[in-house]
Amino acid sequence: EEGQGVAAAEEAAPEPLQEEAAPPADAHEAPDRSSESTSATVRVVFEHRAERWSHSYEVERGSTLLEVKRRMVKQDSPQEDLVSFSLRRGLLRIWHFEVVEGDETFDFHYVGPEEGQKLYERDLARLEREEEEARRQDMDRLAHEREQEEAREREQAGELQDTGRPWSLYALSDLHIDVPDNAGWLAWLPEAGHEADALIIAGNISHRLDVIRWTLSEFKRRFANVFYCVGNYELWVRHDGSQSDGDHTFGDSREKFEHVMAVARELGVLTEPTKLGSGAGALWVVPLQGWFEFGFGDPGEEVIQWALATVADFQEVVWPRSMGSSHEGAARYFDSLNEDRLEMAYDAPVVTFSHFLPRLELLPAQLSPEMLLVRATAGTERLEARVRSTGSKLHVFGHSPINWY
C-alpha cells in the first residue's frame, strides 16, 4: 500500500463514503442519499512503477481510511463504487471525492467535478515537487554513502588520495556545541571554501550523541577530511541527555567511547593515523587517545580532594570494573589504544593531536588559586611518550581553559 493511487472514477458520481455536513461554499450540493444502503464496496486501485493491483473493501458509509484498510474483502460486485485514491498526503484525481487528512486518519468528502479537477491540478504540482525532492534526497544519500565507503577504504589502507589541489590543515577543540552561540557559529560557517582542506577536532564537542553526530556531519560537509578524538565531555554518562543514543543506553563511559568512535567512522570521520597528500606535500595526521592522571600536574593532596568534590568528570564519568573503576585505569586503557601508532612506518612529517595535555609546561607555571584545579585533570605524561615515539613535528591539544595571550 505504499504506491501512489490511480486517478479514476466512473462517469456517474460515485456514492460518497461520508457526506459532509457543511460542504465548501463553492462545491456542488451533495445529493440526498439518506434512503440508500448504509454499506458500500470500495475498490482501491494502486500503481507502483510497472505494477498494478487492487483491493476491495466492504465498509459502512462514513468509514475512515483506517477502517477501510482493515476490511479488505476479495469480491467483485457490479454495483460497487469505484474509488481510487492516493495514500500520500495529496488530494485525489477524482471528479467527486477528496481525501482529507485528519488525526491519523482519512475521510471521504463530497466535492463537485470542477472543484475536484482544480484540487487535483493543485495537488499534482505539489506531488511533482515532492517527487523531485525525494529524488534529490535519494541522490544525496547515495552520494554520501559512496563518500563514506570510499573514506573507509582509504582509511583502512592508511592513506587518502591526493586531491591535486593546495590544501591546509586546521585545528579546533572544545567546541561545546551545546552552547547556542557555538552552534550558531557552526551553522553560519560557509559551506564553500574548504573543499580541499583537512580539519582536526581535538575533543569536547558535547556530552550528547545527537549533537556530536550533527557537529561531525556539518564539518564533514565543509572539509575534505575531518579528524577527531574524544574529550572528557563526550564520555559523560550521568548528565541529562548523555546516557543514550536513541534506544541504545550506555552502561559506562568505555562503552560510550566505543559508540562515539563507531558513529564518527560511519560519518567518514578519521580516527586512525592517515596520510594526506603525496610527494613533498605529504603529511601524516595521527590521533592519540588519552585520559588525565593526578600525578601529571603534581597538584597536591588538598587540590586532589578539592577536584574530587567539584570537578564534573568525577560525577559524570563511570569506568567499568575491567578498568579498575578509576581514572588511572582509564589512562592506562586509552594509552594502550595508541600502541599500534608505534608500529607504523611514517614516511612523511607527522602531526599528532590529543584532547589532554602531554606536558605540564603547556600550563602557565603560576596559576591563580581558582585555576589550580586544572593541574589535577590536565593531562598525562603517557601522551608525551607517544608523541615522541611517532617523531611528531607538531602536536595539537585541547582541554586547557587557559589562554596564553
Does residue 147 belong to any structural domain of this protein? Answer: no
When divided into structural domains, the chain yields a total of 2
Q: Say yes or no: 251 and 116 in one domain.
A: no
Q: What is the pLDDT of residue 306?
A: 84
Look up the CATH number of the domain holding residue 259. Answer: 3.60.21
- Distance from the Cα of residue 143 to its chain's centroid: 16
Q: Say yes or no: 59 and 196 in one domain.
A: no
* Structural domain harbouring 67: 40-125
Q: Say yes or no: 297 and 186 in one domain.
A: yes
| Residue where one domain finishes, among candidates 125, 140, 174 | 125
* Spatial contact of 383 and 358, defined as CB atoms under 8 Å apart: yes
Does residue 89 belong to any structural domain of this protein? Answer: yes
| Residue where one domain finishes, among candidates 125, 142, 174 | 125
Q: Say yes or no: 171 and 299 in one domain.
A: yes
- Distance from the Cα of residue 65 to its chain's centroid: 33
CA distances to 2, 5, 74, 123, 310 from 48, in Å: 8, 8, 20, 18, 62
Phi, psi of 47 (to 5 degrees): -130, 135
| Residue where one domain finishes, among candidates 125, 141, 170 | 125
Look up the CATH number of the domain holding residue 104. Answer: 3.10.20.90
Q: Say yes or no: 107 and 167 in one domain.
A: no
Q: Say yes or no: 213 and 295 in one domain.
A: yes
Is-above-0.75 flag for pTM? no
Q: What is the pLDDT of residue 10?
A: 35
pLDDT truncated to tens, each residue of the chain (405 aa)? 443 333 333 333 344 444 434 444 444 444 454 455 566 555 554 444 444 445 555 556 555 544 554 454 334 433 333 333 333 323 333 322 333 332 223 333 333 445 545 555 665 666 667 777 777 777 777 777 777 676 666 666 555 555 556 789 999 999 999 999 999 999 999 888 898 999 999 999 999 999 999 999 999 999 999 999 999 999 999 888 888 888 888 989 999 999 999 999 999 999 999 999 888 889 999 999 999 988 887 778 888 888 888 888 888 999 998 887 788 889 999 999 999 888 888 999 999 999 999 998 888 877 777 677 788 888 999 999 999 999 999 999 999 887 765
Q: Say yes or no: 224 and 373 in one domain.
A: yes
Q: Say yes or no: 101 and 196 in one domain.
A: no
Q: Say yes or no: 117 and 191 in one domain.
A: no
Q: What is the pLDDT of residue 325?
A: 75
Q: Say yes or no: 260 and 331 in one domain.
A: yes
CA distances to 23, 64, 92, 101, 128 from 115, in Å: 12, 22, 11, 18, 20
Q: What is the pLDDT of residue 158?
A: 56
* Spatial contact of 340 and 276, defined as CB atoms under 8 Å apart: no
Q: Say yes or no: 84 and 169 in one domain.
A: no
Q: What cell does 333 get?
A: 586503557
Burial of 11 (0-12, 13-18, 19+ CB in 10 A): exposed
